[in-house]
Amino acid sequence: MKQPELGIKIAELRKSKGLTQEELVERCNISVRTIQRIETGEVMPRSYTIKAILTELDYDISQIADERKSSGEALASGIKRFFLLDLDHNKPSTFLIKQLNLAGIFGIIYFVIGFFEGAAEYYWYTDQTMIYSNSVYIIVKLISVVSFVFFQRGFIMIGEVFKNYLLKVMSFILIIALIMLSCYDIISIYYESVDGEFIGGASAITFGCIGIIYGIALLRLKGSVGRVSKYAGVLEIVAGSFLLTIILAFIGLIIYIPADIIEIIIVFKAIEIIKSKQKENIDAA
């Protein structure tokens, strides 16, 4: 447990025991100023100090580790459920269809908002000029991030359904990378940041590498969703390769336009396949 959570916990335990800070420090052989700073979260005490305080408060220190573990497990479980990493294949096909329809809709939103976002970022990275107000820019970025997350969430599901685990992993990595870059973009409009050219180059290399591997994952879908995945995979690989050159990165960004369109088609193609299999199962029954 870290500060300020630890200080809050100690204060709660002390008050539940009906102890003042002065009474507690007498038992623990520390100063009042120390306990004050611990409870307000100003300092992180040494492990033996924590143990001494919690012992006097009749609180097992192992409970802190258990609480941390439970909290971490709950967070991990929530992430797995949201990104469908533990997809139950026994769920009705209607569940898959609804989730993929949602992904397709958000894919369209992401594609459209990308033009507004791209215009803003071009002027911001080239001459630090904001063509929108800060609030509008933030709204555009948030819409872009949310729509991208739900769009790629669909590919995580497609990867699970068609046993393409590389696609699952790369979709998740893409989500993390985009969120991190978007957070930087929003922060940079309020605080002096690293040179835009450096960030642009680093982003191009990062997304270039991810894009190439993501393209390979899409190529592996050919046997499941047809030739359309091959087109998307090739475009992703080519776009990623241009990004890696940095100088020709703008060509890669242009190639992503048709790639995004084809990837939206892949989502709806997957829906058709799932519906077809569902119909086959009903007819067979």
Whether the predicted pLDDT of 142 surpasses 70: yes
Q: What is the pLDDT of residues 187-245, one digit of tens each?
A: 877 776 556 567 778 889 999 999 999 999 999 998 889 899 999 999 999 999 999 99
Residue 284 pLDDT > 80? no
Confidence band (pLDDT; 50, 70, 90) for 14? confident
Residue 132 has pLDDT above 80, yes or no: yes
Would you state the pLDDT for residue 281? 67
What percentage of the chain exceeds 90 in pLDDT? 42
| Residue 182 · residue 148 · CB < 8 Å | no
Residue 41 has pLDDT above 80, yes or no: yes
Q: How many CB atoms lie within 10 A of CB 265?
A: 17
Contact (Cβ atoms closer than 8 angstroms) between residue 274 and residue 96: yes
3-state secondary structure the chain: CCCCHHHHHHHHHHHHCCCCHHHHHHHHCCCHHHHHHHHCCCCCCCHHHHHHHHHHCCCCCHHHHHHHHHHHHHHHHHHHHHCCCCCCCCCCHHHHHHHHHHHHHHHHHHHHHHHHHHHHHHHHHHHCCCCCCHHHHHHHHHHHHHHHHHHHHHHHHHHHHCCCHHHHHHHHHHHHHHHHHHHHHHHHCCCCCCCHHHHHHHHHHHHHHHHHHHHHHHHCCHHHHCCHHHHHHHHHHHHHHHHHHCCCHHHHHHHHHHHHHHHHHHHHHHHHHHHHHHHHHHHHC
The pLDDT assigned to 154 comes to 94
What is the tens place of the pLDDT at every residue in 80-93?
A: 665 655 555 555 57
How much is the pLDDT for 234? 97
pLDDT of residue 70: 53
Question: What average pLDDT score do residues 23-40 get?
Answer: 85
More confident residue, 212 or 54: 212
In this prediction, residue 205 carries a pLDDT of 94
Residue 127 pLDDT greater than 80, yes or no: no
Q: Which of 119-123, 221-225, 264-268 has the lowest mean pLDDT?
A: 119-123
